[in-house]
Amino acid sequence: MKKFSSKYITYIVIGLVLASVPLLSQIGIMEGATVLIFGWIIFYAIAALGLNVLLGYSGLVSLGTAGFMGFAAYFSTHLTVELGFSFWISLPIIIIGLTIVGLLVGLVSLRLAGMYLAIATLAVAEVFRRILIDIWGFVAYHPQHPDVFVRFLNRDETYWLLVIFLVLLMILTHNFVHSPVGRAFLTMRVSEAAAQAMGINLLKYKLMAFGIATAYASLAGMLYAHFLRAIDPNPWTLLLSLQIVAVIVIGGLKTITGPIIGSFIVFGVPQLILSRLPVIGDIPGLALIFNGILIIVVILFYPQGLVYIGHDIKRLFKKKEVKSS
């Protein structure tokens, strides 16, 4: 119980740090655009957190995250802007609806494995993208910020709502992966034959993992639409799905805080740091190239993920203390 409570404190502290960004922006320590960039980091971290349950804990590969995010973003816009639904009424409709769709897709796709499963989910994502283009075209839509008590939130308040969602999902995911279901996922990831021998229903748990990843991606897509207030079909491509996979690999598989670190590296570093450096930031596209090199370096020299750096630093200090004594 102590371990769990200490983890909760870690998640809450992360949330408080992220929540301070608008306040630092208001007093001039950070630029106003920094809030938007951290918003990007948060909703991609949410999508990556769900994908980590699928990839990290269950060992299943999906390249359909971007498709579900895009579909949720447009579906949410349709419900709130064109049909006049509240954000909070649209939220369960979209998450439950797309999770059911995801389970149906998974029922077919999960008969495959490895790269064949990845290709199948990629095909589904591309189908979703084509549906978006055929129905809504390439026109950019502008949904409102979420509403609370008949009042629309402003940008900073919506950002804080994103932080709340992230902290709650970290706690929820932590409890889930430490439950019997999470242990079944890990057993299935190590050996499907051993999992079956222990009486684990592979299809049931695979569908459960796929459903969780779909629900998180749907929520992330909805938050994307109502925070940025501008969506079009262009971002929801294979590149975005690969970037979200990179977020997990860089941050750390089978971790809760890893997706936040990875999202900061993949989506935050190019805008917050590299684009502001002399020479690198002045040449269009060069910041992204350097970010790609940074990602490769991290994967080569820190394959377990950057989330374990803290453990290694502690170990290094302990070794120094032992030597000095």
Dihedral class, residue 28 (left if φ above 0, else alpha if ψ from -120 to 50, else beta)? left
pLDDT in tens, 257-300: 999 999 999 899 888 887 777 776 677 777 677 777 877 888 78
119 burial (CB, 10 Å; 0-12 / 13-18 / 19+) is middle
pLDDT in tens, 204-238: 888 899 899 999 999 999 999 999 988 888 888 88
Structure letter (DSSP) for residue 305: -
SS3 92: helix
Question: What pLDDT is recorded for position 300?
Answer: 82
Show me where the domains of the chain are located.
2-257
Question: What pLDDT is recorded for position 123?
Answer: 86
Structure letter (DSSP) for residue 281: T
CATH 1.10.10 fits 2-257, yes or no: no
Whole-structure pTM value? 0.91
* Cα(230)–Cα(232) distance, integer angstroms: 7
At residue 276's C-alpha, the angle toward residues 271 and 279, to 5°, is: 125
pLDDT band at 244 (very low <50, low <70, confident <90, very high): very high
Q: For residue 109, how many other CB atoms are within 10 A of its CB?
A: 23
Angle between helices 180-190 and 202-228 (to 10 degrees): 110
pLDDT in tens, 4-37: 567 789 999 999 999 999 998 888 777 778 999 9
Residue 125 has pLDDT above 70, yes or no: yes
8 A C-beta contact, residue 125 and residue 66:
yes
Question: What pLDDT is recorded for position 5?
Answer: 61
pLDDT in tens, 134-164: 877 766 778 889 988 778 899 999 999 999 9
Structure letter (DSSP) for residue 138: T
* Cα(130)–Cα(71) distance, integer angstroms: 10
> Alpha helices of the chain — where are they, by DSSP H?
2-26, 33-52, 65-77, 87-109, 114-136, 155-177, 180-190, 192-197, 202-228, 238-251, 258-263, 269-272, 286-301, 309-324
Question: What pLDDT is recorded for position 1?
Answer: 46
